[in-house]
Structure 1
Amino acid sequence: MMYFAPYIDASGLHIPSYTDVRDQLLSDARSIFGQDIYLESDSQDYQWISVVANIVYDSFLTSQAVYNARGPSTAIGSALDIIVKINGIKRLPAAYSTCYVTLTGSVGTIITGGVVADINGYEWTLTTPISIGSSGQATALATCKSPGPITANVGEINKITTPTFGWTAVTNPGTAVTGAYAETDAQLRSRQAISTAQSSQTVLEGVKGAIAAVSGVQRSVVYENDKNVTDANGLPPHSISAVVEGGSDDAIAQAIYNKKGLGCYTNGNVPVQITDLYGVAAVIRFSRPAYVDIDVTINLKQLSGYTTQTTTDIKSAIVAFINSLTIGDSLTLSSLWGAALSANSVPNKPTFSITGVTAARHGQPLGTIDIAIAYNEVTRGNVANIVVNVS
């Protein structure tokens, strides 16, 4: 193409390419200094023109970024944060995993500034101070120091990082409530699109939008069974079933109550009583997702440039993909190939080739078939469950 001045029409902003700008400057130079001027790539004049062309093109790219920042589908970063405020939502910050732990030791021991660790090396800070009671035990809330979906199954928080005289052991009788990474642009765009459904004429879409707008909600899905019989998921007739991750029980139940249709049964294992302005009580039900930990083994052949960091990047990419799936999404094995290959920092010069991928629910035999996920389940990745075999 030939150089043209940037312009805006019905299809959007149009800008010339770097090559167009450079070629135009070369043509202008020849018209000024003569057609016999030497402007091959090894000349100083060509190098100078290339630098100027790059600066001009950078300016065009900036104008394109500003133009794209006008709407949520193309805005990024802080521009997207500003736009979604119109819909009354904001980007979810990083959240830290939490877990109640049981401390064992001598009666009367005071633990101040306690820190414990799990089997994967993550450290967790304890509420402070903690006093061990007459039973020789105390319960404390442990908060992971690292943000994100850090998992801890029963018994995995078992190391004392800050020894205190009289404190002998720590364990977690229950699983941790996983945190989350800061919401990405893609996730925020998706939530913004759902939130605009609150004013829709479809009751179901309105319920979805109201739940998505609740503070702290990370992922959610709402199923409707409008039939007279129980459906394939086991959901009762004439009901809606919301499965929600994050957010407070009361706020979620209130959102459902405000938007659900008359006479519609709300199905779930988390019951919350709502009282309206006239003192009439109603029970709203929804569910929390059941987490499915995924084991993955990647067999690969290392190529030139492969390092131990590449192994770490592969594991992180796979975990990020598994954690990006929505509630009820089954895991296809082929998608794990793509997630692993994304760890190649230079796509056209790979540092490894994959020879095999197997996966399964945690603790089950690995295989090559897709992993089915129930309507109320969601996959969860953990680097400790990812194995990379290098040959």
Structure 2
Amino acid sequence: MAYFSPYIDASGLHIPAYTDIRDQLIADARSIFGQDIYLENDSQDYQWISAVSNIIYDAFLTNQAVYNSRGPSTAIGSPLDIIVKINGIKRQPAVYSTCPVLLTGSPGATVTNGVVGDSAGYMWSLTNPVILDGTGKATALATCQTPGPITANPGQITKIVTPTFGWIAVSNADYATLGAYAETDGQLRSRQSISTSQPSRTVLEGIKGAVAAVQGTERFEVYENDTNVIDSNGLPPHSITAVVEGGTNQDIAQAIYRKKGPGCYTNGTISVDITDQFGMPMPIRFYRPTYVDIDVVLNVKMLAGYTTETTDAIKSSTAQYIDSLNIGDDLTVSSLWGAALSANKVPNKPLFSITSLKASKHGQTPGTTDIVIAFNEVTRGNTANVTLNIT
């Protein structure tokens, strides 16, 4: 294709290719210095023209990136962050998992800048300082030093990384509260699209948009029952039911209150009183999601190149897929095959094959039947719950 000057039309910005720029400069050089000038690939003049062409093309690509940054559908990175501020939202930062832990040791011992470890090798920082009471015990909050949905089951945080005089042991009796990875461009675009529904034509869309705009909100779902009877999810008649992960209770309740219709019942186990302009309290109810841990059992056949890193990759890919499902989404067991096989990262040379795969809710007998998730539940992946039988 021949060189052309960059232009904008109804379909967007058009720029010439690198080869078109190079060929045009070669043609210009021949017209200036004569058609017999030697400009083959091994000539110094060609190398110079090639370098200049690459610089010009880089400048055109930068212009194209700037042009695409004008709207949320094509902007990436920091330009997308700037665009979505128009809608009053910003990219959700990475969140670190937290877990309450019990420290034991000598009465009165003080743990400063304490760090503990789990069975998977992750480090967790303790609240600072931690002072053991008269019985030699203290409860502290451990925050994972690695961002993202790092799991820790009861009894997995037991290692003292920073030994301190008088501190003997650490343990966790509860599951960790999962963190989250920083919001991706695709996730931010999706949330921006939902947030623009606030001035929408329906109340339901407006509530979804308002909840999406709440700082810290991650996954959420809003259900409506406009009938006179309890629906299939067990939701009361003429009600709005929001299930929200992340954000503060007060901010979520305020967002629902601003958008709900008059006389509409808000359903849920969390209740927050919102005071209206006349000083009257209005209870706003919603749910926090209940996490459903999933057990997965895979029978895997090793192929050439399989290592322990492959085992970790299979577990991680499977757990990440389970974590990626939305609130109320059933888990289709067959979809786990694709998640596990995605660990085969070597093109045209698989490292393993899967001979069978079963899954279940944690503690139940694994099978091939799809796992039904309630409206206010969400699946939770955990590499510790992914079992590989390798042959």
TM-score range, shorter chain: 0.7 to 0.9
Deviation at 1:323, TM superposition (A): 2.6
Q: Partner of 1:289 in structure 2?
A: 289
Can you give the 5+ residue segments of structure 2 that lack an aligned partner in the other structure? none
**Number of residue-to-residue matches in the alignment:** 388
TM-fit CA distance, 1:301 = 5.0
Q: What residue number does 2:357 align with?
A: 358
Structure-2 separation of matches of 1:318 and 1:25: 52
Aligned to 1:238: 238
Deviates more, 1:173-182 or 1:30-39: 30-39
- Structure 1 counterpart of 2:325: 325
Deviations, residues 69-94 of structure 1 (Å, cap 9, x unaligned): 10011100000011111111111111
Q: Which residue of 1 aligns with 2:10?
A: 10
The 5-angstrom pairing of residues 1-391 of structure 1 reads 1-22=1-22, 24=24, 33-34=34-35, 39=40, 51-296=51-296, 297=298, 299=300, 301-302=302-303, 309=309, 311-340=311-340, 342-343=342-343, 347=347, 349-352=348-351, 354-356=353-355, 358-360=357-359, 361-387=361-387
Secondary structure at the aligned position of 2:322 is classed as helix
Residues 252 and 118 of structure 1, relative CA distance in 2, 3 Å threshold: same
Q: Which amino acid aligns with 2:100?
A: Y
Moved more, 205-214 or 331-340: 331-340
* Counterpart-to-counterpart distance in 2, 1:84 and 1:19: 36
Cα deviation for residue 224 of structure 1 reads 0.7
Q: Give yes or no for contact 2:344–2:352 (8 Å, CA) kept in 1.
A: no
Q: Check the 8 A contact 2:110/2:132 in 1, yes or no.
A: yes
CA–CA distance in structure 1, aligned partners of residues 7 and 253 of structure 2: 50
Distance in 2 separating the partners of 1:69 and 1:321 = 30
Distance 1:324 1:125, change over 3 A: same
Contact 1:293–1:382, Cα closer than 8 Å, also in 2:
yes
State the SS of the aligned residue for 2:198: helix
SS of the residue 1:209 aligns to: helix
Q: Report the RMSD for the aligned CA atoms in angstroms.
A: 3.0
Tell me whether 57-66 or 329-338 shows the greater mean CA deviation: 329-338
Distance 1:33 1:342, change over 3 A: farther
Q: TM-score by structure 2 length? A: 0.86
Give the CA deviation at 1:249: 1.0
CA displacement at 1:237 relative to structure 2: 1.2
Decide whether the 8 Å contact of 1:336 with 1:357 is kept in 2: no
| Aligned equivalents of 2:263, 2:293: Cα separation in 1 | 37
SS in 2 for 1:299: strand
Q: Is the 8 A contact 2:337 2:357 kept in 1?
A: no
Q: State the distance in 2 between where 1:359 and 1:18 align.
A: 51
Q: State how far apart, in whole Å, the 1-side matches of 2:344 and 2:26 are.
A: 37
Residues 359, 4 of structure 1: alpha-carbon distance in 2 compared, 3 angstrom cutoff = farther
Could you report, residue by residue, the CA deviation over 1:227-265 in whole angstroms, capped at 9, with x for unpaired residues? Answer: 111111111111111111111111111111111111111
Aligned equivalents of 1:241, 1:109: Cα separation in 2: 48
Describe the SS at the equivalent of 1:198.
coil
Higher alpha-carbon deviation: 43-52 or 84-93: 43-52
Q: State the Cα distance separating 1:216 from its structure 2 match.
A: 1.1
Moved more, 283-292 or 163-172: 163-172
Give the distance between the partners of 1:50 and 1:340, measured in 2 at CA: 45
SS at match of 1:101: strand
Q: Distance in 1 between matches of 2:382 and 2:205?
A: 33
Cα offset for 1:47? Answer: 6.1
Give the Cα–Cα distance (whole angstroms) in 1 for the partners of residues 11 and 113 of structure 2. Answer: 59
Shift in Å, 1:337? 4.5
Counterpart CA distance in 1 for 2:223 and 2:38 is 71
User: What is the CA–CA distance in structure 2 between the aligned matches of 1:262 and 1:105, rounded to whole Å?
Assistant: 57
Percent sequence identity is 65
Q: Which stretch shows the higher mean deviation, 12-21 or 294-303?
A: 294-303
Equivalent-residue separation in structure 2 for 1:342 and 1:7 (angstroms): 41
> Cα 1:136–1:281, aligned 2, differ >3 Å: closer, same or farther?
same
Which stretch has the larger CA shift, 205-214 or 41-50? 41-50
Q: Which moved more, 1:331-340 or 1:42-51?
A: 42-51
Greater displacement, 355-364 / 97-106 = 355-364
Check the 8 A contact 2:72/2:84 in 1, yes or no.
yes
Q: What is the CA–CA distance in structure 2 between the aligned matches of 1:26 and 1:231, rounded to whole Å?
A: 73
Give, in whole Å, the separation in 1 of the partners of 2:342 and 2:51: 32
